């Protein structure tokens, strides 16, 4: 059986979990915590920087959440079309996946990393992250004019849901982006995403910038 190593509060773990839940793919969740040091050791040995999530499929170890989803789409297809069969459409989807990872989640993570490292967030970092995220939000708002809001889960939803969940905690999506605000709410209501939200709820006190009393 597949094994996924990660943590319930980790955004990139969510990204892989959403794909697994969407297709009902059987797997064992190998949580990374103090009670399972052997899980952390496996993750540390698997990739250059020992980051998670990590998917173990027999003798194969697949790291990077996007690559895990690609692996699932190729070897464990289901009702949720994680990637289009058409190469050009798949390429377009991979580009949007990069938008959510690099221009939303990783930007938000700048604030989290500084808060962990320094115990607080500098005004310079706050302003820089806010400017970047608001620019990304505006771009996604325009993109959503051509993207249908359905219950389908693809690579895009797997990337968008966790990144928008946490980014909105750090820099709330402004009223000038109504499509994006609506889509975030829609994503969080999808059963595979709601599963992740609930499993992560006990860990909210650990969010270094303070989790808002919502979602």
Secondary structure (DSSP) of 56-86:
EETTEEEESHHHHHHHHHHHS--SS-SS-SS
Burial of 134 (0-12, 13-18, 19+ CB in 10 A): middle
From the list 27, 30, 28, the residue with the least C-alpha distance to 42 is: 30
In this prediction, residues 177-182 reach a mean pLDDT of 98
Q: Rounded to 5 degrees, what angle do the CA atoms 22, 154, 108 make?
A: 100
Q: Give the Å distances, CA to CA, from 129 to 38, 167, 211.
A: 36, 10, 17
- φ, ψ of residue 17 in degrees (nearest 5): -60, -40
Q: What is the pLDDT of residues 16-55, one digit of tens each?
A: 999 999 999 999 999 999 999 999 999 999 999 999 999 9
**DSSP letter at 104?**
I
pLDDT digits (tens, 9 = 90+) for 113-165: 999 999 999 999 999 999 999 999 999 999 999 999 899 999 999 999 999 99
Domains of the chain: 2-75 (3.40.30.10), 87-194 (1.20.1050.10)
pLDDT one-digit tens code per residue, 59-99 = 999 999 999 999 999 999 999 999 999 999 999 999 999 99
Instruction: Report the predicted TM-score, pTM, of the whole model to 2 decimal places.
Output: 0.96
């Amino acid at each position: 059986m597949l094994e996924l190593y990660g943590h319930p509060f980790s955004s990139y773990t969510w990204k892989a979990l959403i794909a697994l839940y969407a297709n009902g793919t059987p797997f064992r969740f190998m949580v990374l915590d103090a009670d399972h040091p052997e899980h952390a050791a496996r993750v540390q040995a698997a990739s250059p920087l020992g980051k998670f999530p990590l998917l173990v499929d027999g003798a194969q170890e697949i790291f990077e959440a996007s690559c895990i989803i690609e692996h699932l789409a190729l070897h464990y297809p289901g009702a949720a079309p994680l990637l289009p069969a058409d190469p050009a459409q798949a390429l377009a989807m991979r580009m949007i996946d990069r938008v959510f990872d690099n221009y939303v989640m990783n930007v938000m993570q700048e604030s989290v990393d500084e808060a962990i490292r320094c115990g607080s967030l500098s005004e310079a970092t706050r302003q820089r992250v806010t400017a970047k995220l608001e620019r990304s939000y505006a771009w996604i708002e325009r993109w959503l004019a051509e993207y249908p809001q359905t219950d389908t889960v693809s690579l895009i939803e797997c990337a968008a849901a966790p990144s928008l969940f946490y980014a909105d905690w750090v820099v709330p999506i402004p009223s000038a982006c109504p499509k994006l605000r609506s889509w975030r709410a829609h994503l969080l209501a999808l059963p595979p995403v709601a599963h992740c939200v609930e499993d992560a709820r006990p860990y909210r006190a650990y969010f270094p910038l303070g989790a808002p009393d919502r979602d």
